[in-house]
Amino acid sequence: MRRIAPSPYRCALLTAALAPLVLITGCAEGGGVRVEGTAGTAAVSPSASQRPTPSTKVDPVALLSNDPKVGTDIKRDLKPCAGHEYPIDTSYGYVTGNSVPDVVINVQTCADGLGLGSYVYRMENGEYTDVFGDEQPPVTIEIDKNDLMLTRQVYGPEDKVCCPSGEDVITYHWTGDRFAETSRTHSDYGKKAADG
C-alpha cells in the first residue's frame, strides 16, 4: 500500500475545516480541552457555595475552653442549657484564604439566644488557632462570601431584649495574617419596630 503525501494546498484546506471543531470541542461543557496559565503561588479558596467540613471532628467547647484568648466570663458560663446541648452555633467556611475550612463559633445565652461572644479559628501548623474574637454582646458573626460579617444589635435605654432599636453590621476581610475592617453600616429600626 502506497501513502501519498498531501500537498500544501490540501493541508491548508484540512486545517481550515478542522479549526471550528477544535474550538467547539475545547469549549464543550463538561469536558474538552482547557488551556491554563502557569500556577500562581497565592492560596485559592474553594467557592462559598460548597459546604466545607473539616477532616477531623472539631469540638467547639474544647476549642473555647482551652483558648487563652477567650474571656473567663464566657468560659464560666459555657454550660449545657438542657441535657447535653450547649448554647453554641458552629459553622465552617473559607474566610481566611486557607485550604482547610475555618471554624466560626457563636456563643449565646440559653434563655433568649443573645450573642455573648464570636470567634474564628484557623488551621495553623496542624491545630486550630484563634484569629478573631469579639466578646461585646450582643454579637454574632457569619461568613458572607469570603468575608466575615459581624452583626451587633443596638439597644436603647427602654428597649427589651426582643426589640433592639437597630443594628450595626461590620464587614472584615482577611489580609493574610489578620482581619481588617472594610465596611460598616448602621440600620435604625425606628420606634415602630422597637414597639412591635
Summarize pLDDT for 6-49 with one digit per residue, the tens.
444 444 433 444 444 333 334 344 432 323 333 333 333 344 44
Higher-confidence residue of 92 and 163: namely 92
Beta-carbon count within 10 A of 194 CB: 18
Residues in CB range of 51: below 8 A, 6 or more apart: 92
Using a cut of 0.75, tell me whether the model's pTM lies above it: no
Tell me the C-alpha distance between 150 and 148, whole Å. 7
Strands (E), the chain: 88-93, 102-108, 115-124, 127-134, 139-144, 147-154, 166-174, 179-188
53: pLDDT confidence band, cut at 50, 70 and 90?
low
Q: Are strands 139-144 and 127-134 parallel, antiparallel or unpaired?
A: unpaired
